[in-house]
Amino acid sequence: MTESGALPRPLRTPQPLIQVQKLTKFFPVRRGWFGRTHLVRAVNGVSFYVRHAETLGIVGESGCGKTTLGRTMLRLLEPTFGRIVFDGQDVTPLSQGELRPLRKRMQIVFPDPSASLHPRMTVRALLAEPLRAHRLVRDRGEQEDRISTLLRNVGLRPEWMHRYPHELSAGQRQRLSIARALAVEPQLLVCDDPFGAVDASNRARIVNLLLELQENADLSVLLATRDAPIVEYMSHRVAVMYLGRVVELGPTRSLFDQPYHPHTHTLLGQAPASESTPPQRSSRLTSQLPSAFVPPSGCAFHPRCPRAIEGQCGVEEPELRELDPNSHHWVACHNPIA
Quick check: is 153 in a domain?
yes
Quick check: is 329 in a domain?
no
pLDDT of residue 81: 95
Quick check: is 327 in a domain?
no
Domain that holds residue 243: 16-322
Query: How many domains would you assign to the chain?
Result: 1
Quick check: is 202 in a domain?
yes
pLDDT of residue 59: 95
pLDDT of residue 287: 57
Quick check: is 337 in a domain?
no
Average pLDDT over residues 272-284: 39
Instruction: Report the number of secondary-structure helices (H) and strands (E) in the chain.
Output: 10, 12
Quick check: is 332 in a domain?
no
Which run of H or of E encompasses 102?
A: helix 96-103
Quick check: is 7 in a domain?
no
Q: Cα–Cα distances in Å, from 112 out to 50, 57, 68, 164?
A: 24, 19, 15, 16
CATH code, domain with 229: 3.40.50.300
Quick check: is 176 in a domain?
yes
Using the predicted structure, report yes or no on whether residue 101 has a pLDDT greater than 70: yes
Residue 109: closest CA among 187, 178, 18, 175: 178
Lowest-confidence segment of 57-61, 163-167, 214-218, 325-329 by average pLDDT: 214-218
**Alpha-carbon gap, residue 187 to 269, rounded angstroms:** 34
Quote the percentage of the chain above a pLDDT of 90. Answer: 62
**Alpha-carbon gap, residue 301 to 303, rounded angstroms:** 6
